Amino acid sequence: MAIRHSVSCALLASAVAVAAAPAQAAGTVEVLHWWTSGGEAKAVGELKKAFEAQGGKWIDSPIAGGGGDPAMTALRARVVAGNPPTAVQLKGPGIQEWAREGTVADIEEVAAREGWDDKLPPVLADIMKYEGKYVAAPVNIHRVDWMWVNPAVLEKAGVSVPTTWDEFNAAAETIKAAGITPLAHGGQPWQDATIFEVVALGLGGADFYRKALVELDADALQSDTMVKVFDQMRVMRGFVDPNFSGRDWNLATGMVMRGEAAFQIMGDWAKGEFLAAGKAPGTDFVCAAAPGDAFILNSDSFVMFKVRGEDRVEGQKVLASLIMSPEFQGTFNLAKGSIPARIDVPLDAFDDCAKKSHDDLTKAIEAGTLVPSMAHEMAIPRSVRGEFLDVITEHFNSDMSSAEAVKRLVEAVERAG
Ligand code: BGC
């Protein structure tokens, strides 16, 4: 008995020792990303935690700046210096642009082994590949065309959640007359462009959006609809507070949280902020699709750059596999405000905003009204996007007429093309 007891004690002790020992080394990754707001930091913290739990070493390289423009500048400098990070938050055509330069490592071996093709919606799988091979691992699906609403402010002003832009304008006027800022906004080019594309979709529909902001069709760019989009941008300018210039997007979300503003038009990373602050959807804040019957897609992914050293190459493989694991896709997206990129992750633990995002995405895919985000680098080359942002921001911050803005946009796109 005593022997059996001591044997089982020894077995138990060794089992505990195995559990306590660091897991098998999973390599090293240096991860360049721009997730520095409250909700974003929490979400990327999940990735770090999961990677370290596998025995990997995580070197964090955060570059602050919503929308990622400063991060992309930093990446360019690192690559030019011959010292790329191992893994980079990158997306859309940017993935292809870097791959064409020959700087990106493919992760096809991991993707093929794990059958990623069957786990991702085709629209996303295509974006992750270069010349038929996976070079990026997607973490999520964000929706851009959301309106974040403070219900108490709307109730106080006696207005309901708008479903058309006319209703939005009327509600905003009433809220303004009640002495509250209707629209929480941060005057940074990517935020201006976020509102612009949401308005373009709402006023012009998915076909117009696709022609103008994805295919860069000259007729669509200089159409009356585009003039109307800039007209609406001018109206929106009247709904922001005097201190909007340069404000970070998450501070604008804070204004809605505190009831200092009624609405924010922003992708569902804003939900990550509300949640990180302990706010509940449906009561403390409301998510409503912005006017327009479609879905603007934005998906974050990680691209592995070509690096030397077994430890780093191993780290890339482990990270790619981890990113696509169902468990990680669940925990990460619960914090980030997005929904999983994988189609087989159950949404039971997710809130109604996420479920609506999923349902509307499915409908949009069926109806052919899913469009990629221009502002968030899913639609057009970075250089052309830059031209759009310049014109949109200049128009928003001056008294430029809509006709002049359209003229400049057409010229700029021709120049960039
Ligand atoms: C990214 C999000 C991020 C947001 C604000 C978007 O372009 O896709 O993940 O939270 O920018 O930084």
**Mean pLDDT confidence for 24-52:** 94
Atom of ligand 1 nearest to the CA of 373: 7
Pocket test for ligand 1, best of 298, 323, 357, 374 (most atoms within 8 A of CB): 298
pLDDT tens column, 293-302: 899 999 999 9
Q: What is the rounded CA–CA span in Å between residue 320 and residue 110?
A: 7
- Please work out whether the CB of residue 67 comes within 6 Å of at least one atom of ligand 1: yes
Name the H helices within 54-101.
69-80, 93-100
Nearest CA to ligand 1 atom 5: 66
Q: What is the rounded CA–CA span in Å between residue 188 and residue 194?
A: 10
Q: 137: closest CA among 31, 287, 255?
A: 31
Query: Is the pLDDT score of 338 beyond 50?
Result: yes
Classify residue 283 by burial, with Cβ atoms within 10 Å: 0-12, 13-18, 19+: exposed
**Mean pLDDT confidence for 103-132:** 96
Q: 392: closest CA among 226, 148, 209?
A: 226
Q: 269: closest CA among 408, 158, 375?
A: 375
Q: What is the rounded CA–CA span in Å between residue 315 and residue 86?
A: 8
Query: Is the pLDDT score of 17 beyond 80?
Result: no
pLDDT value of position 218? 96
pLDDT tens column, 181-191: 999 999 999 99
Q: What is the rounded CA–CA span in Å between residue 103 and residue 79?
A: 8
Which residue bears the tokens 């995405």?
361
Look at the chain and count its residues: 417
pLDDT value of position 354? 98
pLDDT value of position 23? 44
Q: 186: closest CA among 250, 125, 141, 235?
A: 250
- Please work out whether the CB of residue 272 comes within 6 Å of at least one atom of ligand 1: no
**Mean pLDDT confidence for 146-151:** 98
Please name the residues in contact with 296: beta carbons below 8 A apart, sequence gap of 6 or more.
143, 144, 145, 197, 198, 201, 209, 371, 372, 373
